[in-house]
Amino acid sequence: MASKCSSPFDKFKVLLGLFLLLINVASAQLSSNVYATTCPRALATIKSAVGSAVSNEARMGASLLRLHFHDCFVNGCDASILLDDTANFTGEKTAGPNNNSVRGFDVIDTIKSQLESLCPGVVSCADIVAVAARDSVVALGGPSWTVLLGRRDSTTASLSAANSNLPSPALNLSGLISAFSNKGFTANEMVALSGSHTIGQARCTSFRARIYNENTIDSSFATSLRANCPSTGGDNNLAPLDTTSPTSFDNAYFKNLQGQKGLLHSDQQLFSGGSTDSQVNTYSSNSATFSTDFANAMVKMGNLSPLTGTNGQIRKNCRKVN
């Protein structure tokens, strides 16, 4: 009788199935009511702090959303991005995609301090980051979703993984699809998540090559950007990712792409005569569909390889292990 794993490919399929099963088991351990009895004011506390931060600076909403994305895409949603460097490892804050770019650490610190006063050692930093991202989107007029909770915090971080796993603004469409596919996302989910660029700003160094070298950009749009992003210098000067309504979570980002006004090269790649054009058209004309798809994709992202149960820890200070 032939073996059920008679070829290397069969064995690979079995191993892949076991791997996916482990991920599903970990996700299944997350629940929306983890803190219902152990810290009943946790979610209200996070919402209030995020609301204050976004009220003080609308851009902070985009920064907190991005913080969640940059955490989850590097070894899962484990708050590794929050860790400062130690003698044992170099953290993720100085990785190329994060250095002088990722923000919101002080807001997370404030929330953590408040929660430690309410219920010490109960709410993980990873959960705070996940909830803060959702509350930021809502604060800027976007959709809400149920954040599953129960993540634990990592005890290490990886500079190399942050440098290799986070999609670059220079990626072409095929590279974007591949980068998200590596994390289990479809091309449609990638487009939906890219819609997060309807809020926030980018540094000149991220879009200089596009506004000086590409012809797939509206000429007047490029000219206006060059005033604040010279060919040399001004690397940290900022421009909104969505020039229409940069502090409102809406579908204007996709309309900008239709007019060749995507700020980043990777943005415009979503509407460049390729396979995702139709998705951009759909989101541009139907904001409700975009909101629904975005919310569903965010739930999926928040479930990327969480540490649960006895894995990891609940940090007392989000910047360092206990």
Binding-site residue numbers for substrate are 167
Instruction: Give residues with Cβ within 8 angstroms of 17, minimum separation 6.
Output: none
Residue 132 CB neighbour total at 10 angstroms: 29
* Known binding residues for Ca(2+): 71, 74, 76, 78, 80, 92, 198, 242, 250
Spatial separation of the C-alpha atoms in residues 47 and 287, rounded to whole Å: 24
Closest among 308, 310, 314, 313 to 30, alpha carbons compared: 308
Spatial separation of the C-alpha atoms in residues 98 and 106, rounded to whole Å: 15
Q: What's the token pair of residue 83? A: 């860790």
Spatial separation of the C-alpha atoms in residues 29 and 285, rounded to whole Å: 37
Spatial separation of the C-alpha atoms in residues 111 and 114, rounded to whole Å: 5
Beta strands in the chain (DSSP E): 201-203, 238-240
* Known binding residues for heme b: 197
| Residue position matching structure tokens 């199935």 | 17
- 70 catalytic per annotation: yes
Instruction: Give residues with Cβ within 8 angstroms of 19, minimum separation 6.
Output: none
Instruction: Give residues with Cβ within 8 angstroms of 21, minimum separation 6.
Output: none
CB 76 within 8 A of CB 152: no
The one catalytic residue in 47, 66, 68, 70 is 70
* Known binding residues: 71, 74, 76, 78, 80, 92, 167, 197-198, 242, 250
Catalytic residues: 70
